[in-house]
Chains A and B, each alone.
Chain A
């Protein structure tokens, strides 16, 4: 299997503050990886830097996607190459109805009417579809709407930024079940602070981000159970043991 995403020694700053301090990461075709890390460790920064958000400045290092160096490429070009993200805190879009946006994303990516099946599976109601994007959505509705938008472009790589934060049990189960089906034959990077989504998803590899660097990598279940038991302090020690 080929490498879809390769991140080399990535340093990223937001305004003038350096957040990522040398991240290395590889995701193969069809692989689902999870990124753990405490608040402020740089998880969302990593997600935004891969997507190409202009506020996240790449200071040094490279991002290779699908064999191409995309470090300098703008966000929309990366999206058209097959990178897609479900945002954690998306903005409200007054006047733009969810169904119109989904239909347009789907049609531009040759997905056509098939997005409607996805909408059904995500339990997005007609009433929800007719509302303005993210205006008056509940936490669970935002997550489901983000996942629907991110998948409507049929991406090669799906980045999920905290798909399980602020989501009730029913929504978590629904999202988890849906994702485990949608991520067959697709690469994904799932960012999660507390790992609830792993009750429904079985990623093949976990990376722990501490203070802007990957502190530890390995089997997701093992790592999550250590975090649950000992907290992220365990990883901090682990990084020291690995020589940081």
Chain B
């Protein structure tokens, strides 16, 4: 896609539709210190499900600040996938350029415009036609140098009939670090391909995050798009959007959120059903504690026959100073479409607490069991080891509960 630099410069002044507006000039363009893959980096990566200790045995991509620190494809998958820095992919396959900015508009807001003007890394992942990977592919983006903007662009192409599971962990070296992460991700799921794309994010109270994601699904394509965020974030705003173009495609966006401190999060999901018999669901389970404020915007638009859409938001309030705001939107343009939504926000029920306490658990233990249950990820169909590691991450994050 041809990019108009003048329009980009104009868009640099354009705030996003939702979320807190950031002044990009308050952040550094370039890292002030040179990153090292030290023990801190390894520990932080592990907290978001990416095991660098297993980097030699798992397909891994690690970017620290603007540098690609590590990448490898495990032996058994060589010839099944391609995983490389986006720049390299553009040189190797001219068609990759056609994919860039085809699902996300670079002029959408200042964050996309900045990303288009100053890209600094990101990965290209291609799962070749008909290949089925039984082990996950792991990618990790880590902010190392304080105060910088990490601006990455990822492209994922799941070719027809392929199957894979990708976990991306995004985090930072120090929890108190300032910074901004702008991750543009465009995902293309070919006919009959199946992808499980799971993101685990951990940030800090002074860190800001603006992911921009576009997804296209061809016929019979299936995507499970899972987002797990635990702990505090300065501000977060994202509204991944999926277009279900081919017949019988299915997308399931699942958000599992535990927000604390003074976090501000505006999390959306937008699905357009354009192919016959497609299914879209947006499922959010969110726990809000401290003074955290969370808005959940789900939107399903159905423009094709026999489309089905469902939005669900469950919020658990752990504090009177927290806020959960659920805004589901359903738009139907077909008689045969079936669109539903449900939302329930409440506190931990006393009945449940007493029930667990009658089994011998203290009040604190019972609360913790209920909060962890609320953040249950076992329905996300993750590989077992990933499910186990996310459970451990949740255990760590909700330790106070």
A: residues with CB less than 8 A from B are 51-55, 74-76, 79-80, 84-85, 87, 90-91, 93-97, 101, 104-105, 108-109, 132, 149, 153
Shortest beta-carbon distance, B18 to chain A, in Å? 28
B94 at the interface (CB under 8 A from A): no
**Contact across chains for B357 and A74 when beta carbons are under 8 A apart:** yes
19 contacts between A and B (CB under 8 A): A54-B354, A74-B357, A76-B360, A79-B357, A80-B360, A85-B358, A87-B355, A87-B358, A94-B314, A94-B376, A95-B370, A95-B373, A95-B374, A96-B370, A96-B373, A96-B376, A101-B359, A108-B360, A109-B360
Q: Which candidate, B142-150, B271-279, B361-369, is the interface stretch facing chain A?
A: B361-369
Please name the 5 residue pairs, one residue from A and one from B, whose CB atoms are nearest each other, closest first. A95-B373, A95-B376, A96-B373, A79-B360, A76-B357
- Give the docked Cα–Cα distance between A79 and B355 (Å): 11
B: residues with CB less than 8 A from A are 285, 314, 349, 351-352, 354-363, 366, 369-370, 372-376, 378
- Give the docked Cα–Cα distance between A75 and B362 (Å): 9
- Give the docked Cα–Cα distance between A76 and B372 (Å): 20
**Contact across chains for A93 and B370 when beta carbons are under 8 A apart:** yes
- Give the docked Cα–Cα distance between A104 and B369 (Å): 10
Other A-B contacts than A91-B355, A94-B373, A95-B374, 14 sampled, CB-CB below 8 A, are A55-B354, A76-B363, A76-B366, A79-B357, A79-B358, A79-B360, A87-B358, A90-B355, A94-B314, A94-B374, A95-B285, A105-B359, A108-B360, A153-B359
- Give the docked Cα–Cα distance between A156 and B366 (Å): 22
Q: Report whether over half of chain B's contact residues are helix, strand or loop; otherwise say mixed.
A: helix
**Contact across chains for A153 and B360 when beta carbons are under 8 A apart:** yes
**Contact across chains for B354 and A75 when beta carbons are under 8 A apart:** yes
**Contact across chains for A53 and B360 when beta carbons are under 8 A apart:** no
**Contacts of A132 on B, CB cut-off 8 Å?**
373
Closest A residue to B374 by beta carbon equals A95
Across the A-B interface, how many residue pairs have beta carbons closer than 8 Å?
A: 67
**Contact across chains for B360 and A93 when beta carbons are under 8 A apart:** no
Q: Report whether over half of chain A's contact residues are helix, strand or loop; otherwise say mixed.
A: mixed
- Give the docked Cα–Cα distance between A222 and B338 (Å): 60
- Give the docked Cα–Cα distance between A52 and B357 (Å): 10
**Contacts of B366 on A, CB cut-off 8 Å?**
76
**Contact across chains for B373 and A93 when beta carbons are under 8 A apart:** yes
**Contacts of B359 on A, CB cut-off 8 Å?**
79, 84, 101, 105, 149, 153
**Contact across chains for A105 and B360 when beta carbons are under 8 A apart:** yes
- Give the docked Cα–Cα distance between A84 and B352 (Å): 16
- Give the docked Cα–Cα distance between A101 and B356 (Å): 9
Shortest beta-carbon distance, B344 to chain A, in Å? 10
